[in-house]
Amino acid sequence: MGIASKHKIKFTQQLLRWDKEKNNRQMPWKGEKDPYKIWLSEIILQQTRVEQGLGYFKKFLSQYPTIHKLAAAKDERVFKLWEGLGYYNRCRNLLYKARYIVKKLKGKFPETYEEILSLKGVGTYTAAAIASFAFNLPHAVVDGNVLRVLARVFGIKKPVDSAAGKKYISKLAHELLDKKQAGLYNQAIMDFGAVVCRPLNPACSDCVFKNNCYAYQRNVIGGLPVKGKRPKIKTRWFYYFIMEYRGRFYINKRTGNDIWKNLYEFILEESNSELPIKELAARVEKQGLPGKRQYRILSVSRLYNQQLSHQHIQGRFIHIKLVKPVKLPGIKAVYPKQLARYAFPKFVHSYLAEKSGYLS
């Protein structure tokens, strides 16, 4: 048996010992065997901090304790509950597959890794998590915590966001996995990355691997894991015209394959750069929404910002009062107190939350 194999075996043994003796991280889904609840927690936690996702997980389970309840829910109610989590494609996939499982699979959640992976919106990590936690199948999870732990302990210098890096670490993760205790091992390594081998200020002095950790022994903790070039961030300017007529506001649902699909918003004018209000008003007038002398500007908001994964959204809200109504396909005229019924993007919700009475 070579040194590398010994190192791997020792790593697994030390991790499980740490989990048994020192791991006191509490999570409501730890030890859970219901695949629906595990699936729900994993979908919510995709690209979401645990601290934020925890509240949403509890709300969803309270409203929809079973996959049958979720499948029967109205889209708008589910999107409203999801509001603020972002990455709304996760919510669409959640609904789509809940209905698929109830209708096509008679409510029985898939029980093999391959079947779970075939679910829309479920990737290799989520499939491995559900398979190992719910059914104790021998599939290693590889999330950000696992990538970081393995890259530092084993000195992996391949970019972890590259195809070669992902393949290499996935293979290593599977070799390290305790096949008989897959769920326990997977939860342990994720917990270790979250509480000990943190991205910043890792607790190296308390680390059970410090004597054999490549990054710690060579003082290169900050340099691992290695990541490739970040994609260019696109900046978009969103100017929302809050058109008010006789105490009601016009809203419409976003469609197409852009961000925030199926969420509601006000009348939008988008630009590639910042524009003065007069130019914006002229643009809107050309579209006939509304025409000249058919409105007056009541207020212009401060600058709002929202950072998405590959986009930076900036913009303002222009509140205008109309002399006569406008007619557009798909728009709704709602009173301020009715706005709380609709799911808005975080960008819009941030503005509404600052306006007393809008969301009461």
Q: Is 21 a catalytic residue?
A: no
- Are 97 and 67 within 8 A, CB to CB? no
- Three-state secondary structure of the chain: CCHHHHHHHHHHHHHHHHHHHCCCCCCCCCCCCCHHHHHHHHHHHCCCCHHHHHHHHHHHHHHCCCHHHHHHCCHHHHHHHHCCCCCCHHHHHHHHHHHHHHHHCCCCCCCCHHHHHCCCCCCHHHHHHHHHHHHCCCCCCCCHHHHHHHHHHHCCCCCCCCHHHHHHHHHHHHHHCCHHHHHHHHHHHHHHHHHCCCCCCCCHHHCCCCCCCHHHHCCCHHHCCCCCCCCCCEEEEEEEEEEEECCEEEEEECCCCCCCCCCEECEEEEECCCCCHHHHHHHHHHCCCCCCCCEEEEEECCCEEEECCCEEEEEEEEEEEECCCCCCCCEEEECHHHHHHCCCCHHHHHHHHHCCCCCC
Active-site residue (options: 21, 32, 42, 274) = 42
Active-site positions read: 42
